[in-house]
Amino acid sequence: MSSQNTDRNVALSTGAETQLFVDDAMVSAKRGVVRTLHPGKKLERPVLLPDRPWEGGRVYIYGTVHYDADAQQFRMWYLTRIGRGHQHRTPGLRERQGDMILYATSTDGIHWEKPELGLHEFDGSRANNILIFDKHSPTVIVDEAADPSERYKMAAWDWSRDQFGYWVAHSADGLVWNAYDVNPILMNSTETLEAITVAHDRRAGEYFAYHRRWGDIGGFDRRLIAVCTSRNFLDWSEPELIIVSDEQDDAWTQDPEQRGEFYGMSGFVYGDQFLGFLPVFNVYRDMRGQEVGVEQSPWDGPIEAQLAHSRDGRRWERFADRSAIIPRGGPGSFDAGCILCSADRPVVHGDEVWHYYTAINTLHGGPMPPKTATIARASWRLDGFVSFDAGHFGGTVETVPLNLPPGQLVVNADASQGSLAVELLSHEGETVPGYSSQDCRAIGSDSVRHVIRWKDNQRLPADQPLRLRFHLDTAQLYSFRVKTTEHE
């Protein structure tokens, strides 16, 4: 993974991974372009509803969706909170919240089945999809290089111990889980942390646990985002706060008790960097210590997801205008109130990116009913979170010097209403002979995989640092990468 470039004239070494334009780490100059955030496109209705007695009227994608290519099947580990007073219906369920990890499968990512796993009883029957009791916010890592007994790894919040902390486990099939003997990890005796997602940076051989911590910001005890890291999934570093509220998060407030904070973060590796979906909670009212409904939260307000980004998994920034990457729906819609949380990472499927999120029709503190929690899906074109856009006056984007692998340059761009050409420059900024914008066979269509060609050249020149200068005319530029083999 490329590191943050502090000297814009020092060549960055990149691999064949996708290079996004979410930030300026790869950019040395730009003219006549604007950086645009693209909110996800939503389906008209949720993909998974709480339609089983043990789901308590609500389901959450505090969890993972993984595409199993061998089985040609999507697998979902998700959460329900059946609520208080149901322990007698489910032997083994201990904690009052009634949190349970459940399992579903799909062939198309839209229509989901809840298989009868036979692992636990509910109302005297094992015909249900219950996996694990008293755990919250499961991340499932699929590690193809691990011992077969540890191919699946899970991290989750553990309600079942006297000492709060997270729980880690392993599985051969993703269904039957065995706890590691180090539990609990990332302990805390005073805070209910709950939300956690884990990213696996395979190239660096490191795990990043993004989780909720509480801290005093501006005189309020707020939910903030911290990270811990590990090389082996068992021994973790001390928590480090990475995203905290600032004045902009409170700019909307009209009452001294109102504030902005974060409900958690789904942080994940995408291409040559990290991205994060950050649920920003505008707390309208804090009713702690006052009477609220039995199944009602004392915190009230809307939540929607913003985009965050990092080059190393530790130093994070939020997208400049802080607009929603997954916005709330309109009045009366299934996600009108909250984009509560989302899967630990998206699924790249064909030419699209799918991300599953928890949709709530009311504000966070709404009573049940009418409050419902369902699982929905947002999608983007491949790499389609952010683009550089130019109008008919044209624009250019020039990268810093890059040490690129040998191969063909592949660009994700929509030039269907105009054109896009690529010019190669030397480290010093001079046009490489045979690779000018006039030599380039300009693109005039929309594709996530344009292969860039010049008159006499189809591959990048080898063994020299290069700057890429993109010439855009009424076009959108999303990403680039180097195709290193003919069979990609």
DSSP state, residue 350: T
**Dist CA 153 CA 149 (whole Å):** 10
Looking at the predicted structure, is the pLDDT value of residue 382 above 80? yes
Tell the burial category of 173 from Cβ atoms under 10 Å away from its Cβ (0-12, 13-18, 19+).
exposed
**Dist CA 139 CA 168 (whole Å):** 10
- For the chain, the structural domain boundaries read 12-36+386-483, 41-380
Look at residue 13 in the predicted model and tell me its pLDDT. Answer: 86
**Dist CA 94 CA 110 (whole Å):** 33
Name the CATH topology of 12-36+386-483: Jelly Rolls (2.60.120)
Summarised one tens digit per residue, pLDDT across range 392-451 is 999 999 999 999 999 999 999 999 999 999 999 999 999 999 999 999 999 999 999 999
When mean pLDDT is compared across 58-67, 318-327, 479-488, the lowest value belongs to: 479-488
> Of 179, 163, 182, 181, which is closest to residue 171 (Cα–Cα)?
179
Looking at the predicted structure, is the pLDDT value of residue 319 above 80? yes
Q: Kindly report the backbone phi and psi dihedral angles of residue 436, in degrees, each rounded to the nearest multiple of 5, phi listed first.
A: -75, 170
Amino acid at site 123:
D
When mean pLDDT is compared across 13-17, 195-199, 350-354, the lowest value belongs to: 13-17
Looking at the predicted structure, is the pLDDT value of residue 3 above 50? no
Compute CA distances 417 → 111, 308, 381, 388, 411, whole Å: 35, 30, 17, 15, 16
* Pairing relationship of beta strands 303-310 and 316-318 according to DSSP bridges: antiparallel
Look at residue 193 in the predicted model and tell me its pLDDT. Answer: 82
Looking at the predicted structure, is the pLDDT value of residue 182 above 60? yes
Look at residue 292 in the predicted model and tell me its pLDDT. Answer: 66
Is 102 within 8 Å of 78 (Cβ atoms)? yes
Tell the burial category of 144 from Cβ atoms under 10 Å away from its Cβ (0-12, 13-18, 19+).
exposed
> Of 139, 279, 115, 251, which is closest to residue 198 (Cα–Cα)?
139
* Pairing relationship of beta strands 12-13 and 402-403 according to DSSP bridges: parallel
Name the CATH topology of 41-380: Tachylectin-2; Chain A (2.115.10)
- Biggest alpha carbon–alpha carbon distance for the chain: 77
Which segments within 11-55 are labelled E, that is strand?
12-13, 19-20, 27-31, 34-37, 41-42
CB count in 10 Å sphere of residue 412: 25
Q: Give the mean pLDDT of the chain.
A: 93
Compute CA distances 214 → 37, 168, 190, 195, 241, whole Å: 29, 22, 10, 12, 10
**Rg (alpha carbons) of the chain, rounded to whole number:** 24
Look at residue 248 in the predicted model and tell me its pLDDT. Answer: 95
Looking at the predicted structure, is the pLDDT value of residue 4 above 80? no
Summarised one tens digit per residue, pLDDT across range 105-120 is 999 999 999 999 999 9
Look at residue 1 in the predicted model and tell me its pLDDT. Answer: 63
Looking at the predicted structure, is the pLDDT value of residue 6 above 50? no
Summarised one tens digit per residue, pLDDT across range 248-298 is 999 999 998 899 999 999 999 999 999 999 999 999 988 776 666 667 788
Look at residue 175 in the predicted model and tell me its pLDDT. Answer: 98
Q: What is the mean pLDDT of residues 315-328?
A: 96
Summarised one tens digit per residue, pLDDT across range 191-250 is 778 899 999 999 999 999 999 999 999 998 999 999 999 999 999 999 999 999 999 999
